[in-house]
Amino acid sequence: MADQRVVVTGIGAVTPIGTGVKQLWDGVQTGKSAVKAINRFVPEGLRSQIAAQIEDFDPLQYMDKKRAHRMDRYSQLAVSAGMLAMRDAAFLPTSIEPERVGIFMGSALGGISYAEEQCGNYYSGGYRSVSPTLGFSVFGGASSCNMAMEFGFTGPNETNAMSCASGAVAIGRGMQAIRRGEADVVIAGGAEAPLAPLSFGAFDMLRAMSTRNEMPDSASRPFDKNRDGFVMGEGASVLVMESERHARARGARIYGEVAGFGLTNDAFHMSAPLPSGSQAARAVRLALASADMSPDDIGYINAHGSSTLLNDVTESRVIRQVFGDRPVAVSGTKGLYGHPLGASGAIEAAITLLSMYNGWLPPTTNLTEPDPEAEIDLVSGSARPERPDAAISNSYGFGGVNAVLAFRRA
């Protein structure tokens, strides 16, 4: 089964710039940042007081009140994105043996924000004021397990917690499961709901987040000379992935192929990238090798582009190491929806696929003065009407995790 192609037939997204595949793509094309002053809690005493929030999410549009009550926001986002992805793929759970469908998800923090809320209840009112759902809501695997119960899929099920690379890792693991013959269909992606005082404040204490509180819509600015940190966001994105044989047999619409996956670790620092970028570059080469591609095949890179001082420069170094002086179009799209931690790689995988499918490479939002150290071919100003045959999406995370996905056009 190693030569079995894995294709994407459905995309589901719940993000600050749009819910659903059409709305997500409209948000990308509109190019308007969703970053605003945070209103989920009072950010008193914090340096950063802005975030990319989902303002219109209503879980009751996707599940009944009883089911919604038994999930925290993290699981609600995951299940809702999964439902949207299956609708987009016109995939019915009854059309396949449930054992042949796997679910792979990723999240940096899982249900920790809900746990934080319940801790407040405990300190103010004791055990009796704590929700009885806490025990099965806080762990990261609640997303994939709730999805399995919602859809009735009993195949391989896993949620990884590889920080900001989690969503990309989940998609890569899902691709591998289909190639190994463990599943014919995989639901894979990432979900994150981190906007709570302690979780937000922990990153604020690291001085990793932007303090452009007076100009929130220009705060997240990947590769820009004047960037000052990332902007925290929330959201979920899920792909329906199938063996090409299975997708063709049911006449499915195909967005593209998940062709390769590379995963390495810097083994250097918990929050800073390896300055040389050598292990991140190796992850790119591993992804290309597993896709049977060379650097010359790649026409577009959706960068991790976190808008932090160290990461953007290191990523530029990585791109130059692998691709040399050949210009390859690069976009950093976090200027639109901030950095939703473990969900970001999955959101960016969806954007990469849609960019190839629609022949429209998005510009790097808020890029007004490129960092002179970022000597790469950044798409800036306006989009490029190009339809590359192959692309990669980079995702990096705390702990030195480097995950790279390689895609081939349908």
Instruction: Give the active site residues.
Output: 164
Partner residues linked to 390 by β-bridges: 408
Amino acid at 86: M
DSSP secondary structure code for residue 370 in this structure: B
Query: Taking Cα atoms as reference points, which of 398, 394, 400 lies closest to residue 172?
Result: 394
Q: Which residues pair with 209 in a beta bridge?
A: 230
φ/ψ (deg, to 5) at 207:
55, 40
Within a 13 Å sphere around the CA of 325, how many CA atoms are in the beta-carbon half? 0
Structure tokens, 389: 């045959």
* 17, 25 contact by CB (below 8 A): no
Burial of 144 by CB count in 10 Å (0-12 exposed, 13-18 middle, 19+ buried)? buried
Helix ranges, 47-165 (H): 65-69, 73-88, 112-125, 142-151
Is residue 178 a contact partner of residue 241, using CB atoms and an 8 Å limit?
yes
Host H or E run for residue 331: strand 329-331
Name the phi and psi angles at 315, rounded to 5.
-65, -40
Collect all residues with Cβ–Cβ distance below 8 Å to 126 and sequence separation of at least 6.
none
3-state helix, strand, coil in the chain (%, to 5): 40, 20, 40
Question: 240 and 85 in contact (C-beta within 8 Å)?
Answer: yes
- First-to-last C-alpha distance (Å) of the chain: 20
* CA 357 to each of CA 109, 115, 408: distance values in angstroms, whole numbers, following the listed order: 32, 40, 10
